[in-house]
Amino acid sequence: MSKLFETVRVGRYTLANRLAMGPMTRSRAQFDGTPGELAAEYYAQRASMGLIVTEGTQPSEDGQGYMATPGIHSDAHVAGWRKVADAVHAKGGHLFMQLMHAGRMSHPDNTPHHRQGVAPSAIAPKTPMFTPSGMQDIPVPRALSTAEVRQTVDDFRMAARRAIQAGADGVEIHGANAYLVQQFFAPSANTRDDEYGGSIYNRARFAIEVAKAIAAEIGADRTAIRLSPGTTLWGIDEGPEGPDLYRHLIAELDKLGLAYLHIMDQGDQALLADIRKLWKGTLILNRPGRPREQIGADVASGLAEVEAYGQMVLANPDFVARLKANAPVNEPDRNTYFGGSAAGYTDYPAMAWK
Ligand SMILES: Cc1cc2nc3c(=O)[nH]c(=O)nc-3n(C[C@H](O)[C@H](O)[C@H](O)COP(=O)(O)O)c2cc1C
């Protein structure tokens, strides 16, 4: 496990250790999408993680899907995130902002503008979603025109610029978990007949264009992407060509020299081995529900340079110190994952040193 505590170079930064906080939506932002008052404290408490990846943050108004998620498309958002970045940096940490466009995973009741969600095609995910009045079915989204797809690429670029203005060390494109980028990958969500639909090359195009646009704007060494190849969440079915789409996508992304690729493992170990071969840069690996005794194994074996953990970091602000000391951990409370204020957010105790 000790290799986890060694420094590592990621993009233009040297991280204090090889542990990352995975991105986690907490739905505690202000109504206009400015991070909540406690966000700076929450992230600063976790700054001993080598890297913090922030909660999914919408690059545009239409990118919002859930209630009370933060944005990075207005001056108020920049000012709010500036407090977060400054607080993390004051504690010696690094943070990449996750840019998340929810695409069709959106309900009009959850956004200030109440518009219909937008997506590659007008196909509903056939799943309910939490809204202010409880669980509701997600309506059919509006298909983006080709010009709007290009505008969305540009929205990501502008959001990345604003993230850097706010003091973030970089951005991570959310290409995982059935949101907009992954909706383009999946024939079950993308039946377009323009250059963004059809072949695996066309379905991968949006992700590649977003990565290129952001890299050109803020530097490839501050640009990263998260993928969850093969997920079947919320009506996503990448079909039999799915693994080939990822082989093509990752080979293309590798040419850009990005800061890192963040894989949320879905269990296909043959594909993971291929990804490791195709990806020459830094790989961050998140294995959902990883048992404690396995922590450090992927860094030790050289499969990944960094390991990311979500819920354990949510519940343990001093996760690194606990691992070093082989100390017990706080268990996360699912009831306070989304919404609310300090309870289950900034009040998880650090270890009491005797
Ligand atoms: C409350 C919560 C919110 C999450 N929000 C996001 C998100 O905004 N973006 C994302 O890529 N993954 C998100 N995830 C997934 C986590 O980053 C992570 O991949 C997942 O929790 C599995 O890892 P773990 O077992 O270490 O928690 C979220 C998970 C949780 C528990």
- Is residue 215 within 8 Å of 253, Cβ to Cβ? no
Confidence of residue 1 (pLDDT cuts 50, 70, 90): low
- Could you give the CA distance from residue 64 to residue 174 in angstroms, rounded to a whole number? 13
User: How far apart are the CA of 23 and the centre of ligand 1, in A?
Assistant: 6
User: How far apart are the CA of 293 and the centre of ligand 1, in A?
Assistant: 20
What are 50-59's pLDDT values in tens digits?
999 999 999 9
User: How far apart are the CA of 319 and the centre of ligand 1, in A?
Assistant: 16
Kindly report the pTM of this predicted structure: 0.98
Please say if the pLDDT value at position 354 is more than 60.
no
**pLDDT given at position 100:** 98
- Is residue 291 within 8 Å of 17, Cβ to Cβ? no
* Average pLDDT of the segment spanning 274-286: 97
Told to judge if 179 belongs to the known catalytic residues of this protein, a careful annotator would answer: yes
Residues 59, 63, 66, CA angle at the centre, nearest 5°?
120
* Average pLDDT of the segment spanning 181-209: 98
- Is residue 309 within 8 Å of 19, Cβ to Cβ? yes
Does an H or E element contain 157, and which?
Answer: helix 146-165
Please say if the pLDDT value at position 186 is more than 90.
yes
Give the binding-site residues of ligand 1, using a 6 Å CB cut-off: 22-25, 55-56, 98, 100, 174, 176-177, 226, 264, 286, 288-289, 309-312, 337
Active-site hit among 42, 43, 66, 179? 179
CATH superfamily to which 2-336 belongs = Aldolase class I (3.20.20.70)
What are 201-223's pLDDT values in tens digits?
999 999 999 999 999 999 999 99
Atom 3, ligand 1: residue with shortest CA distance? 24
- Could you give the CA distance from residue 142 to residue 165 in angstroms, rounded to a whole number? 32
- Could you give the CA distance from residue 286 to residue 308 in angstroms, rounded to a whole number? 5
Beta bridge partners of 306: 284
- Could you give the CA distance from residue 82 to residue 68 in angstroms, rounded to a whole number? 18
Please say if the pLDDT value at position 297 is more than 70.
yes
- Could you give the CA distance from residue 281 to residue 254 in angstroms, rounded to a whole number? 7
User: How far apart are the CA of 7 and the centre of ligand 1, in A?
Assistant: 24
Residue 325, CA distances (Å) to 2, 226, 352 in order: 11, 30, 12
Please say if the pLDDT value at position 300 is more than 70.
yes
User: How far apart are the CA of 69 and the centre of ligand 1, in A?
Assistant: 14
Atom 29, ligand 1: residue with shortest CA distance? 24
Contacts of 86 (CB under 8 A, 6+ apart): 40, 167
Structure tokens at 347: 């009040």
**pLDDT given at position 77:** 98
User: How far apart are the CA of 270 and the centre of ligand 1, in A?
Assistant: 23
Percent of the residues in the chain that have a pLDDT greater than 90, as a whole number:
99
Structure tokens at 68: 């009370």
Structure tokens at 178: 């059935």
The residue whose CB lies within 8 Å of the most ligand 1 atoms, and thus the one to mutate among 19, 21, 24, is 24
Please say if the pLDDT value at position 353 is more than 70.
no
- Could you give the CA distance from residue 111 to residue 92 in angstroms, rounded to a whole number? 34
Please say if the pLDDT value at position 284 is more than 70.
yes
CA end-to-end span of the chain? 24
What are 76-127's pLDDT values in tens digits?
999 999 999 999 999 999 999 999 999 999 999 999 999 999 999 999 999 9
